[in-house]
């Protein structure tokens, strides 16, 4: 049997998981090639710890992608310029690659410029540099109004803006400036984490209100005035002294140019196999769109990217070996929601439930917070 080449586009959690699983499952004559422009890998959940000061440097949670070679995984550090899904070729800044299979794991692209004033006024929670700037601002903060704004939906890690609000509240309380401060969340959503269901969303609103954190639903930010420190929404305006932002997300340009996206703006895939409409081409993680029976889309969360990567890896390995598919992605997932004071709530359930997802939320505990930290340590340990 001649060796196959599997091209994995993107070195985030989904891409790294797929590469590792494929290498374990496929014999050495098959090439596993990962294309990623960044030299380092890290989990975005670490940005919250950078924000609070639990982690002082972004480098603490990063891992060098050159170490993939120790596992016989090839890494090409390059920009992806164009994708031909029919031919399964990828043009990069360092040359063109051809494969027998493509696994698209490019995640979501942030474009703060879509909201006038966002880039100038908001500190981006989804970038490590932005998280560090938030921490520096909070360390100097002596009171005022902190606003967490979600610019558009969908966005990666649906719990992150709410975790940020909880953690800011906890930090300001420890610093003794909470009584002189207001904290508010503005989001286009009608409830936090709406795909998880109304009960989960309502409980999170109750938790926010118990901490004195305002929740402003169905608010679409139209522009931000950095000079006036004002965010202007469709329905109301708000002043801020510190603005923490979740920028608009979209599918990366090479996916849009290759016409891999549909009207949702994301890459449609089969809900159980993650196949695209092109033979041998799969997509996983935040770049995808999977419409649920309830009419909403599967959230963009790392837990789904990780499991989807394992499903795709096992099924590609099975196909190479001439075997039937081994696994199906079943839509089960979970989420830890940090609420400050070294506590986290825990949500879990079946997002493929019919007629609607069946998700429950466990109350905050120190155990759940410790488990969230342990997940990151387990991912890092893959490099040891």
pLDDT (tens digit, 9 = 90+) per residue, 197-245? 999 999 999 999 999 999 999 999 999 999 999 999 998 899 999 999 9
- The pLDDT, as a whole number, for residue 384 is 40
Domain contains 290: yes
Instruction: Please give the span between the terminal C-alpha atoms of the chain, in angstroms, as a whole number.
Output: 33
Q: Are 218 and 289 in the same domain? A: no
Q: Are 224 and 322 in the same domain? A: no
Q: Are 156 and 44 in the same domain? A: no
Instruction: Please report, for the chain, how many H helices and E strands are present, in that order.
Output: 9, 25
Domain contains 153: yes
- Domain end marker among 291, 310, 331: 331
Distance CA 113, CA 124 (A): 12
- Domain end marker among 248, 280, 314: 248
Distance CA 359, CA 198 (A): 10
Domain contains 358: no
Element spanning 76, H or E: strand 74-76
**Reported pTM:** 0.95
- Domain end marker among 248, 275, 304: 248
Distance CA 13, CA 337 (A): 19
Q: What CATH number corresponds to the domain at position 227? A: 3.50.50.60
- The pLDDT, as a whole number, for residue 1 is 54
Which residues are CB-contacts of 339 (< 8 A; sequence separation ≥ 6)?
163, 166, 167, 170, 207, 211, 345, 364
- The pLDDT, as a whole number, for residue 381 is 65
What's the number of domains the chain is made of? 2
List, for the chain, all residue ranges whose pLDDT scores fall below the cut of 50. 384
Paired tokens of 150: 């979600």
Residue range(s) defining the domain that contains residue 140: 111-248
Q: Are 22 and 117 in the same domain? A: no
Coil, helix or strand for 150? strand
Q: Are 63 and 140 in the same domain? A: no
Domain contains 25: yes
- The pLDDT, as a whole number, for residue 108 is 96
Domain contains 367: no
Q: Are 98 and 120 in the same domain? A: no
Q: Are 102 and 193 in the same domain? A: no
Q: Are 65 and 193 in the same domain? A: no
DSSP output for 156-200 = BSTTHHHHHHHHHHHHHHHHT-GGGEEEEEE-SSSSSSGGG-HHH
The stretches of 26-150 forming alpha helices (DSSP H) are 46-52, 118-121, 128-140
Q: What confidence tens digit (pLDDT) does each residue in 284-308 have?
A: 999 999 999 999 999 999 999 999 9
Domain contains 232: yes
Coil, helix or strand for 287? helix
138-166 burial string, b = 16+ CB within 10 Å, else e?
A: beebeeebbbbbbbbbbbbbbbbbbbbbb
Assign 3-class secondary structure to 307-356. Answer: HHHHHHHHHHHHHHCCCCCCCCCCCEEEEEEEEECCEEEEEEEECCCCCC
How many other C-beta atoms can be found within 10 angstroms of the C-beta atom of residue 24? 11
Q: What one-character DSSP code corresponds to residue 384? A: -
Distance CA 192, CA 190 (A): 7
Q: Are 58 and 104 in the same domain? A: yes
Q: Are 94 and 50 in the same domain? A: yes
């Amino acid at each position: 049997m001649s060796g196959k080449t599997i091209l994995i586009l993107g070195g985030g959690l989904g891409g790294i998981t797929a590469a590792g699983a494929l290498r374990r499952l496929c014999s050495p004559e098959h090439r596993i090639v990962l294309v990623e422009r960044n030299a380092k890998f890290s989990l975005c959940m670490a940005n919250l710890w950078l924000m609070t000061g639990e982690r002082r440097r972004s480098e603490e949670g990063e891992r060098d992608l050159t170490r993939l070679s120790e596992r016989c995984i090839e890494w090409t550090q390059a920009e992806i310029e164009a994708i031909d899904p029919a031919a399964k070729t990828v043009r990069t800044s360092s040359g063109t690659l051809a494969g027998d299979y493509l696994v698209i794991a490019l995640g979501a692209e942030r474009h703060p410029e879509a909201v006038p004033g966002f880039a100038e006024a908001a500190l981006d929670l989804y970038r490590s540099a932005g998280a560090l700037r938030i921490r520096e601002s909070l360390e100097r903060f002596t009171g005022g109004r902190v606003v967490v704004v979600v610019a558009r939906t969908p966005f990666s890690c649906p719990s992150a803006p709410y975790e940020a609000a909880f953690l800011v509240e906890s930090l300001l309380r420890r610093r003794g400036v909470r009584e002189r401060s207001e904290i508010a969340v503005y989001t286009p959503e009608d409830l936090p984490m709406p795909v998880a269901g109304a009960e989960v969303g309502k409980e999170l609103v109750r938790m926010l209100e118990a901490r004195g954190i305002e929740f402003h639903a169905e608010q679409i930010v139209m522009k931000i005035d950095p000079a006036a420190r004002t965010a202007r929404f469709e329905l109301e305006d708000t002043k801020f002294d510190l603005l923490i932002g979740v920028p608009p997300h979209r599918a990366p340009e090479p996916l849009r140019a290759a016409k891999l996206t549909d009207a949702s703006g994301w890459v449609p895939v089969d809900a159980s196999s993650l196949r695209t409409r092109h033979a041998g081409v799969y997509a996983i993680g935040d770049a995808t769109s999977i419409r649920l029976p309830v009419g909403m889309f599967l959230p963009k969360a790392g837990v789904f990217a990780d499991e989807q990567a394992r499903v795709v890896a096992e099924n590609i390995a099975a196909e190479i070996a001439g075997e039937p598919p081994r696994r199906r992605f079943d839509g089960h997932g979970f989420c830890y929601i940090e609420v400050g004071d070294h506590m986290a709530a825990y949500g879990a359930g079946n997002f493929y439930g019919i007629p609607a997802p069946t998700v429950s939320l466990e109350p905050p505990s120190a155990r759940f917070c410790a488990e969230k930290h342990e997940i990151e340590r387990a991912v890092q340990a893959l490099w040891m």
